[in-house]
Structure 1
Amino acid sequence: MRIKKIAIENYRLLKQFSIDLEEIMSLVIGKNNTGKTSLLTVINSFLNGSEKSRFSFDDFNIDFKKELKTLIEEDLPLESDYKPIGIKLKLFIEYDESDDLTNISRVMMDLDPDNKTIILGYEYHLTYDALERIKTKHSEFQTKEANKKAENQNYKIRDVYDFLKIYQSDFFKSNRKSIEYDKTDDKENDDVYIDLDSEKISTKEIINFKFISAKRSVTNKENDKTLSTQTSEIYNQTEKTDEQNEQIEMFKDELISTDYTLSTIYESLFENVVEKVRRFGGIRNDDSTISIESSLQHRELLSGNTTVMYKHNDTTLPEYNNGLGYMNLISMIFEIEIKIQEFKKSKLERPSDINLFFIEEPEAHTHPQMQYVFIKNIKSILNQGIVREDGDNRKLQTVITTHSSHILAESNFDDVKYLKKESENDVIAKNLIDLKIQYQEDPKQYQFLKQYLTLNRAEIFFADKAILIEGDTERILFPTLMKKIDFEEKRRYEGLSEDDPKLPLCSQNISIIEVGAFSHIFEKFIEFIGIKSLIITDLDVVGNDTKKCRVAVGTNYSNDALRLFFNSATLDELKSFSIDNKKIRKNGEVWQSDINGSLCVVYQTEENGVTARSFEDAFIQINREFINEKKEGFRGLKNRSLFDDNDNDSYKLAEECVNKKTHFALDILFHTDENYTNWQIPQYIKEGLLWLKQ
């Protein structure tokens, strides 16, 4: 039994939101402010929160606030036309023949043996009766506000939003339902349901939700005892579940003995937890290790009587002496152990059918290697599920949210859920595995994309913008090209006595990705993630013999990306396109020119009456004097004397003088002055970067 989908309405950015969950682990990724924390908080508010403090007016989606404002200020609709509105959560639960149906049988809406889905609905809504009352209350509020204004002309009248901030909780109420599911249409029927509140049916036995927040309390201040407190909590949970009885009885028998004896018992009691810390990278042979030692003289008996110490060179040191990253990792492992013990419940109380565990941003304070180790090991622990000594074992379904490209790179591509802002007030969730369908005509392309992104460039999922480049030359130069653009734009605006309204390129969240000659393979992926993207490629002109040649004598081109994105435009057409023609948007299956398009594909354009074929050709053409002056210091050049003959054009110099492209790029960097003023950026690159900066 598992949750296969979660649907949310009108909660913060989650306006009409749904996300599919995997059976064991779902990795939820996305940039900041895309609803990852909101997903956690809305589930917790409905499943664990109290009625009184469940939601505030600020939790309402902005569009929903506007809808509510209209309802309150305009005429009362007919009751037959009105459906209760508010924040809603739906859990789509899937079960099979092997599951114990004792608990969910009470909420089943359909006895069809082929229908193995139930929907639990949680609502914080405004009923028709409450709408009538809130409109009356608002009228009274307006009258009082008008009277206050009459008495004091400086008084600022409060509007309907101010009213709702004060009184919303008096009219919105929570409700729980089991909603009919139509397997034929794969959708819910909200009009047919069981009212779980009026029927006094609990869902606690069906689903248990727990989480570890990103706001963890661990610090390395001297008075911090977070880890020590957690070990006591693990002990208390273990005692409450009546597990490890032998160790606990030993603990009680030896409670009045020496700290040394108790420390030996702790070593046995916490052996599994310490082993998990070791597996996650918290302990290495050449690094400090942890031990849990008794400190009875500082604690009340049976509670809080453990202190985490670090063993280092035969010396034990208190927990706060270790680095914050290690402390956070160890604390998280302890917290996972505590939550798993809580999921088990007591001997007299069986675990819930579904145990949903949410871990928020496990990467906090940890370096990349720790993040790799964490995600590599966590799935093996989660796969064990909820294991009890009495044999009543349940699965553990986990959701992990992250900003870490390192965690993503080590994860199963098919487990990943990508949150993306559709607008300023709406977020959607996409399954990365859905990309497989889009690449079904050429599965090899999907396999390449999947391997490349997870192994090399997972950070693009967290970027606001992306630059797709061909190779090492661009990779070496582009940070400097972006810095040069920023310097030039800053000087330009200083001359105008005003500030540049756009953030500098180097201050923007831009991911630079090497794609070689495969940028066309990334077409569907670019569309999928939907971020503003710049592709920088070469014109790659060829002659009638299909061999590369000067653009001036060329008849065609060999660049597959240009052929795809510009619909097999001719070479002459490509040469005639302006920067606006190169801004494109997908329309159905075809990319079309669109000045407001979110993708721009640039290539060499005419400068000084000549169009170059490659980056080196374009750079030499407009920076020949710069290279001439320093050519003896350019280690990436050969046949340097060719630069002395003015009849040798930039194409010939690029072909016959550039010994190794990466060395040539490094030469440019080495000889650049501190203000980036002694050479120029080729026009096609400059146009693209200025577009991306906007």
Structure 2
Amino acid sequence: MKISRIKIKSYKTIKEIELSINDITTLIVGKNNIGKSNVLKSLELFFNNLSSKSKEAIIDKEDYRFNTERVEVRVTFDDINGQLNKLRERITQERSKRVNKENLYRFELLYLQFEALKSQRNKLEVVLEIKRRNNSKNFSINYNPTEPKLKKYRSLILKRDLLESIFPSEFVKLLNDKNIGWDFYKNVIVDETEEEFKITYRELTGEILKSDYKPQKTDVESLKTNVVQYLSETQRFLYVPAYRGEKEERNLILDRLFDIIIDDLITTRGVTKDYDTITDAIWGTGKYSNKQNIDSVISKRTESLIEKITKDSISSITGFEFDKPNKKEIRRGILKLMIGKPSLFLNDGVKTTFASKGTGIQSSFMITLMKALSEFEFINSTDILLVIEEPEAFTHPQLTREIMDLMLDVKESNTQFIIASHSPVVVNYVKARNVIRLAEICPKDKIKHTINAVNYDTNYTKEDWNLIDRIADVNLSEIVFADYVIFVEGEGDKAILELLFKELLPKTFHKLSIVSISGNYQIFKLLKLLQYFTIPWILVTDKDSFVEKTFEDEIKITLRNLDDFFTKYQISETFKESYTNVLNNHLVDKIISKNSIATGVKMGQLIKRINDIKDGVNEDLKSEIFKIISEKINDSFITDEDSVKIINSFNQKMLSNKIPLYSLESDLEGFIVNKETYKYTYSVYRKYYPEKADNFDAETNHFTEQEKIRYIRECIGSKTSMLKRIPNKAKTVKKPHIPIEIISDYLHSKDRNSNLLDVFPNLKILVSFLKEKI
């Protein structure tokens, strides 16, 4: 069984939190000190206490949340049907050889108990409660069998026990009969009187006085206790902490790793085929008492282990070996001989001890060693939960990628990973649905607490997740770590806003993540991702995304009307041959052309689809928003002051209605070129286009300052310059490096305006808004 859900209450910074866990890999992300380690530590608390036989809880005083009386950790195990299948296999294995009645009965009992506890959800929730008053612990299962299930369970146990008690020798024969099912006793017929039980099975009939029969405990609590005990034996929890650099921490991890080998070789009686050999050699009795037998087992196991670990480890490790102590008397020294505190020798071209390797190699090798050992010849029913803090610690990005490849190369494995990380490299290895984003709430006059920011109520389809996984890509690593995300159209917008916000929000800029989405309408593809992680965001774009120009009707050009088209629009005859060649292509039916002169305006897609972004926006509000943004749009000239006034009015309306869309008064070039930045713009333009700059000087000799500003905006690559095909301007539509260089030169100049909001006034509302949010 694997974990599918964790619920934690009153543990350190966690007041109450619930997390869904993927069956292979779950990644937990969030800011420093947000509580990622506390989630992992709560699991360690659960499993350490599960495996401990002490009645007193293993817990530190600091683990209790302030002013609370108890810690509670609920772990939901998934796929009870799968566990029933494993138990059936174990029962079959036990019956395939000479039957060990004790082992067989235990697995049969467990099968019947799991079947009784199985809910319709096919899950099992186990609850650990630790009380502060006396550090007492209690494990329970948060499900009571229904009366029909409990009745069936008790009936089967009674039938089995009665058949064995009344007919012991016949019962053993039935156990060893491979031709009948293991649950053959379900066909026993029981008749009960006040004084005795009478049974009938096939040709067998018999009775037993109730006073001579000792019934098994079949109460609900005994049933639950037995299942919890089984989980403690079959659930392995392995923890790799974030700090792995000091000798003490390394030794603790290595000691834990080698405990696994002891468990595998020594404590799994009746499971591992080498158990008898090892046991006889240790005690010097039995047919395997010859110490050469134990040497053979140890050598075989060690070679197998080395082969497994070398294969699964990072590529720079080509081999390793154990430095065993000298062999002494076999009876007293065998455990130390097999396990002890072996020294590791790594071979990455130079064979040296583990401790002498670089910190990054040590860190990464311990992770892959943990994985390899956790999968080393465990019994089929054992499940391993491998929890790793910061796999990127002490490693460079390429080594981190190699570690992630090794960890995630899991097919039909019992190993499950939960990883906590700050690394974008790690985030990009995991699908969005497998990422848990933690945040924090800090109510006034109250202690802050960790929350799960994931919205599990989204009910996304497989197609939704496929879309999210396709578009998230690198953006995901930026998005999940940020306090607030600003989406922009392109990399140029991103670079410029980063430069400006570093100065406008010096104390909180690091909490922002500015992400380019390569086109404003990509925001609609990102919405599901943002909703799932409940990420606060805003899209900053230019006015064109909210207002679309309309043009005359489409012109459908065919060979029949080609001459009329050229005459009507006075197009040079030199182009006719090209048009004719295209139309003569058998794959082309017609050419559709649109007039380049706008005849009006209409709502842009960001307004039309505003309900996808914010629920409850009615048509009246849409119309009001459009009316504001389209004011004076048909005027031949709008002053910069009027443009800023319109845009600010629009943005105020959007934000007051909690619509996360923000408009700049122009595209990138128009936004950064103004009275304050004009001379820096001209300097950069002349630097890259000296001849064009000479033409610009000649053309603008009698222009006003405002006219020069507008004209140079076109020259550095606005859409207008391509439309008008003006000879002295940039040949391509966009040259993002030019606006970036302009704004950088301006910000580093000595005579710049100290108040950037006076230079870029339509950022005032946005800056004020972000200050409130972060």
Q: With the length of structure 1 as denominator, give the TM-score of the two structures.
A: 0.66
> Which residue is equivalent to 2:511?
508
> Which residue is equivalent to 1:667?
741
1:103 aligns with 2:110: yes
> Which residue is equivalent to 1:133?
none
Q: 1:227 to 1:417 in 2, by over 3 A?
A: closer
1:528 aligns with 2:574: no
| Contact 1:376–1:411 (8 Å) recurs in 2 | no
| Contact 1:555–1:571 (8 Å) recurs in 2 | no
> Which residue is equivalent to 2:226?
201
> Which residue is equivalent to 1:655?
714
> Which residue is equivalent to 2:72?
87
**In the comparison of the two structures, how many residue pairs are matched?**
554
Which moves more between the two structures, 509-518 or 534-543? 509-518
| Contact 1:283–1:289 (8 Å) recurs in 2 | yes
- Cα RMSD of the aligned pairs, angstroms, is 4.8
Deviation at 1:330, TM superposition (A): 0.4
Amino acid at match of 1:458: S
| Contact 1:120–1:178 (8 Å) recurs in 2 | yes
Match 1:471 to one of 486, 490, 495: 490
Structure 1 unpaired stretches of 5+: 69-84, 126-167, 184-192, 257-261, 345-349, 386-394, 490-502, 585-591, 605-611
- Structure 1 counterpart SS, 2:85: coil
CA distances 1:496-533 after superposition (whole Å, capped 9, x unpaired): xxxxxxx242x435353434222243334334333442
Structure having greater relative contact order (Cα 8 Å, sep ≥ 6)? 1
Q: How does 1:592-603 map to 2 (within 5 A)?
A: 593-594=655-656, 600-603=660-663
Amino acid at match of 1:624: Y
Q: How does 1:637-652 map to 2 (within 5 A)?
A: 638=692, 641-642=695-696, 644-645=700-701, 646-647=703-704, 648=707, 650-652=709-711
> Which residue is equivalent to 1:328?
363
Deviation at 1:687, TM superposition (A): 4.1
Deviation at 1:469, TM superposition (A): 1.0
Q: 1:331 to 1:635 in 2, by over 3 A?
A: farther
| Contact 2:432–2:472 (8 Å) recurs in 1 | no
User: Whole-Å Cα distance in 1 between the matches of residues 409 and 651 of structure 2?
Assistant: 48
- Structure 1 counterpart SS, 2:739: helix
Deviation at 1:664, TM superposition (A): 1.2
> Which residue is equivalent to 2:406?
377
1:558 aligns with 2:611: no
- Structure 2 counterpart SS, 1:631: helix
User: Whole-Å Cα distance in 1 between the matches of residues 750 and 508 of structure 2?
Assistant: 15
Deviation at 1:453, TM superposition (A): 1.6
Q: 1:179 to 1:22 in 2, by over 3 A?
A: same
Amino acid at match of 1:273: I
Q: 1:307 to 1:467 in 2, by over 3 A?
A: same
Match 1:425 to one of 446, 449, 452: 449
CA distances 1:318-363 after superposition (whole Å, capped 9, x unpaired): 334433212111011122334445x93xxxxx66565444333322
Structure 2 unpaired stretches of 5+: 88-107, 147-217, 282-290, 329-335, 443-447, 553-593, 632-644, 718-729
Q: 1:87 to 1:689 in 2, by over 3 A?
A: same
Deviation at 1:27, TM superposition (A): 3.0
Which moves more between the two structures, 536-545 or 296-305? 296-305
> Which residue is equivalent to 2:628?
573
User: Whole-Å Cα distance in 2 between the matches of residues 194 and 550 of structure 1?
Assistant: 85
Match 1:283 to one of 315, 322, 331: 315
| Contact 1:28–1:400 (8 Å) recurs in 2 | yes
- Structure 2 counterpart SS, 1:418: strand
| Contact 1:225–1:319 (8 Å) recurs in 2 | no
- Same amino acid, percent of matched pairs: 16
| Contact 1:470–1:515 (8 Å) recurs in 2 | yes
| Contact 1:28–1:399 (8 Å) recurs in 2 | yes
Q: 1:110 to 1:417 in 2, by over 3 A?
A: same
CA distances 1:341-397 after superposition (whole Å, capped 9, x unpaired): 5x93xxxxx66565444333322222222222222232334x353xxxxxxxxx334
User: Whole-Å Cα distance in 1 between the matches of residues 762 and 264 of structure 2?
Assistant: 66
> Which residue is equivalent to 2:573?
none
| Contact 2:242–2:391 (8 Å) recurs in 1 | no
Q: 1:672 to 1:690 in 2, by over 3 A?
A: same
Q: With the length of structure 2 as denominator, give the TM-score of the two structures.
A: 0.60
> Which residue is equivalent to 1:396?
415
Q: How does 1:116-195 map to 2 (within 5 A)?
A: 116-125=122-131, 168-170=132-134, 173-180=136-143
User: Whole-Å Cα distance in 2 between the matches of residues 226 and 58 of structure 1?
Assistant: 21
User: Whole-Å Cα distance in 1 between the matches of residues 9 and 253 of structure 2?
Assistant: 38
Deviation at 1:466, TM superposition (A): 1.4
Q: 1:265 to 1:169 in 2, by over 3 A?
A: closer
CA distances 1:83-112 after superposition (whole Å, capped 9, x unpaired): xx7635253543226352742643665688
Q: 1:309 to 1:173 in 2, by over 3 A?
A: closer
Deviation at 1:461, TM superposition (A): 0.8
1:214 aligns with 2:241: yes
User: Whole-Å Cα distance in 2 between the matches of residues 244 and 61 of structure 1?
Assistant: 47
> Which residue is equivalent to 2:563?
none
CA distances 1:219-264 after superposition (whole Å, capped 9, x unpaired): 489x98789878866765665476899x999xx86999xxxxx999
| Contact 1:358–1:399 (8 Å) recurs in 2 | yes
| Contact 1:31–1:403 (8 Å) recurs in 2 | yes
Deviation at 1:429, TM superposition (A): 5.8
Deviation at 1:206, TM superposition (A): 2.7
Q: 1:7 to 1:339 in 2, by over 3 A?
A: same
Question: Which is higher, the Rg of structure 1 or of structure 2?
Answer: 2
Deviation at 1:204, TM superposition (A): 3.0
> Which residue is equivalent to 2:36?
36
Q: How does 1:436-475 map to 2 (within 5 A)?
A: 436-437=460-461, 447-475=466-494
> Which residue is equivalent to 1:142?
none
- Structure 2 counterpart SS, 1:410: coil
Deviation at 1:661, TM superposition (A): 2.5
CA distances 1:515-558 after superposition (whole Å, capped 9, x unpaired): 4222243334334333442321010144442899999x974453
Which moves more between the two structures, 458-467 or 523-532? 523-532
User: Whole-Å Cα distance in 2 between the matches of residues 637 and 290 of structure 1?
Assistant: 65
Q: 1:220 to 1:169 in 2, by over 3 A?
A: closer
Deviation at 1:470, TM superposition (A): 0.6
Deviation at 1:276, TM superposition (A): 0.9
> Which residue is equivalent to 1:627?
681
Amino acid at match of 1:663: H
Amino acid at match of 2:769: W
Amino acid at match of 1:526: L
- Structure 2 counterpart SS, 1:169: coil
